[in-house]
Structure 1
Amino acid sequence: MSQLTAIAFDADDTLWQNEAFFRMTQARFLELLAPHADAANLETRLVAAERRNIGAYGFGVKGFTLSMIETAIEVTEGRVPAGVIGQILGMGRDMLAHSVDLLPHAESAVRHAHEAGFRVLLITKGDLLHQERKLAQSGLGELFHGVEIVSDKTPEVYVRAFARHGLQADQAMMIGNSMKSDVLPMLEAGGWGVFVPHELEWAFERANAPEDHPRFRRISDLGALPALIDSLT
């Protein structure tokens, strides 16, 4: 077994809350457009727009806001009032300005990895400016040796991300709440993939767990991470 030298964390819904704000905004959107379509149809069309647009807009609040606007135009057949578009834009601004709420044990888990002598990275998807702002507000910035804000997470992205910091993916661990983005591609890159479930899961990030993989681990929350790290070293 390769020596573990680096530990990487996902950000959204691993270290701090994120999906909850999307859910609250989506509820406001469904209420706003209720005169034009029923909630189930609106939600289905919004999810479809998000999936269509990820390749063009990427992950994050800005792409979500554009998908809401696109859906509003579609369901009203182009008759959506300018005032409604303005309100949707306001929802997006509110999300971008929202405070950063750390999840339980987030700081202690990152600090343990740092103080244990590992190279500690943050590898996250999303909008560059927004993720940089959240990291600055989190108070965790000084604990990371490097930050990688990527458009997607694939085995190749992980290999390149660790290599930029003089590290090897097969000597690294990736910790996150997404089986699809944080665990599976990291295992394919040769490293450890640690799944930390969040109570809210975006449908796009669901995938089956590789229960029999020798480098797959599942913990209930970040409070269990120090013991897991120590057991592998």
Structure 2
Amino acid sequence: MITRQQIIFDLDDTLVYCNKYFDMILDQFYETLLDWFAGEGLTTEEIRDKQIEIDVAGVHKLGFASEHFPRSLVETYHYFCDAYQRSYVQTEEEQLLLLGRSVYDQEVEPYPGMVETLESLRKAGHTLYLYTGGETAIQQRKIDQIKLSKYFDDRIFIRQHKNIQALEEILRTNRFDRSVTWMIGNSLRTDVSPALEAGIHAIYLKQEKEWVYNMVELQQKPASVMYTIKTLTEVPRVIHESIQIHQQKRTLG
């Protein structure tokens, strides 16, 4: 008999696509600045590096506030205006803000195997939770569009800052049994590292293209286990094999 688990899923780039839309907007941003600064010798790499620097610093300070990304485009524009002694133009700033905000208007697209994975875990008797970073209105729109409440009911947590403090508050308030609790997500920083620090198990859904902000060194507690996977559909197998190994150790021990 499989021991029932408490399984917490991240949303963005775990269950639904997210970063590819930011990349799409950033590609348009690079082209726009290269056009505006034509003749200055500015490169895409320089724009990318500065935007990442500004973006990551802002997320550390503000968390996943929706207006931060559009502002990072404007701040990057300001940086190069100053560097090349070019005046700020209000209409250009407004254009960049609109471009940045458009990332939140993209249609939500589930990851391959999302329904299959959630159905499999639910049918096995596990309790599913959703824990996502961002602003409530934006994240709730995604949840509603792909009808995720079918799997998570009211077990949905949305936090602007997604860190160990936020996870600990969720675990304590809802009285999770940490020995049978899992965190599944694509971010080492906001999903895996807090999970291991909190003493729960973690499954890292590794991406081909990682956001710089997500990369951190991990410190694992003895009671927790961590697995790395490449596809969402691997989750049920990994969890069930881990349960079986644990049960065998108890039997032999």
**Offset from partner CA, 1:122-159 (integer Å, 9 cap, x none):** 11112222111111112222201411112333333222
Q: Within 5 Å, which residues of 2 pair with 1:67-216?
A: 67-77=72-82, 79-145=87-153, 146-208=155-217, 215-216=225-226
Aligned equivalent of 1:52: 57
Query: Hey, what's the Cα distance between the residues in 1 that align with 2:48 and 2:97?
Result: 18
Query: Hey, what's the Cα distance between the residues in 2 that align with 1:53 and 1:154?
Result: 15
How far off its partner does 1:31 sit? 1.1
Query: Hey, what's the Cα distance between the residues in 2 that align with 1:118 and 1:6?
Result: 6
Query: Hey, what's the Cα distance between the residues in 1 that align with 2:61 and 2:225?
Result: 33
How far off its partner does 1:22 sit? 0.9
Q: 5+ residue gaps in structure 1?
A: none
What amino acid does structure 2 have at the position aligned with 1:12? D
Aligned equivalent of 1:28: 28
Alpha-carbon spacing, 1:228–1:194, altered in 2? closer, same or farther (3 Å): same
Alpha-carbon spacing, 1:69–1:127, altered in 2? closer, same or farther (3 Å): same
Query: Hey, what's the Cα distance between the residues in 1 that align with 2:168 and 2:63?
Result: 20
How far off its partner does 1:209 sit? 6.1
Q: May I ask how many residue pairs the two structures share in their alignment?
A: 231
Query: Hey, what's the Cα distance between the residues in 2 that align with 1:52 and 1:155?
Result: 18
Alpha-carbon spacing, 1:72–1:149, altered in 2? closer, same or farther (3 Å): same
Task: Report which stretch shifted further, 146-155 or 96-105.
Answer: 146-155
Alpha-carbon spacing, 1:60–1:103, altered in 2? closer, same or farther (3 Å): farther
Native 8 Å contact 1:69 1:85 kept in 2: yes
1:227 correspondence with 2:237:
yes
What amino acid does structure 1 have at the position aligned with 2:97? L
The 3-state SS of whatever aligns with 2:162 is coil
Native 8 Å contact 2:196 2:219 kept in 1: no
Task: Report which stretch shifted further, 188-197 or 150-159.
Answer: 150-159
Alpha-carbon spacing, 1:106–1:210, altered in 2? closer, same or farther (3 Å): farther
**Offset from partner CA, 1:93-132 (integer Å, 9 cap, x none):** 3211100011111122122222322221111112222111
Query: Hey, what's the Cα distance between the residues in 1 that align with 2:52 and 2:115?
Result: 33
Report the RMSD for the aligned CA atoms in angstroms.
2.3
Give TM-score, length-normalised by structure 1: 0.89
Give TM-score, length-normalised by structure 2: 0.82
Q: 5+ residue gaps in structure 2?
A: 244-253
The 3-state SS of whatever aligns with 2:26 is helix
Alpha-carbon spacing, 1:199–1:73, altered in 2? closer, same or farther (3 Å): same
Name which one, 1 or 2, has greater alpha-carbon Rg.
2
Alpha-carbon spacing, 1:60–1:12, altered in 2? closer, same or farther (3 Å): farther
Query: Hey, what's the Cα distance between the residues in 2 that align with 1:65 and 1:114?
Result: 38
The 3-state SS of whatever aligns with 1:79 is coil
Task: Report which stretch shifted further, 144-153 or 121-130.
Answer: 144-153
Aligned equivalent of 2:251: none
